[in-house]
Amino acid sequence: MNAREALGKYGEELAARRLAEAGMTVLERNWRGGRAGEIDIVALDGDALVVCEVKTRRQSSFEHPMAGVTPAKARRLRGLADRWLQEHGGAPPGGVRIDLVGVLLPERGAPVVEHARGVA
């Protein structure tokens, strides 16, 4: 595993922990939708399915993690959510939501984990 992959894996671990602390149930991590890509975290929030994208950045990086989801990325996530639902029996009663968790790792101190609900 290279440094970039390790950074992403660490960020996803922090994100999964944050979602669980918020009362969500993590169903899957790193679900592969074939060539369409990957969903970082699939979770349940009550009766709503949550497809969660995780972006991790070091504080010295140019871009804030929350800026990492472009309109094209949002479309891809919606397509991946549809594919996941097809493979797992359809949408739950609460529907589907796409969330973003941004993880910012400062040079010193604790990571900053931000959770934005319904970003796409």
pLDDT at 11: 94
Task: Scan for tokens 């609900």, then name that residue.
Answer: 117
Q: How far is CA 4 from CA 11, 16, 41, in A?
A: 11, 18, 18
Q: What is the pTM of this model?
A: 0.91
Cα dihedral across residues 35, 113, 60, 63: positive or negative: positive
CATH of the domain at 90: 3.40.1350.10
Q: How many domains does the chain have?
A: 1
Distance CA 60, CA 71 (A): 25
Low-confidence ranges of the chain (pLDDT < 50): none
User: What domain range is 43 assigned to?
Assistant: 3-116
pLDDT at 61: 64
Is residue 67 exposed (0-12), middle (13-18) or buried (19+ Cβ within 10 Å)?
exposed
pLDDT at 35: 87
pLDDT at 74: 87
Beta strands in the chain (DSSP E): 25-32, 38-45, 48-58, 96-105, 112-116
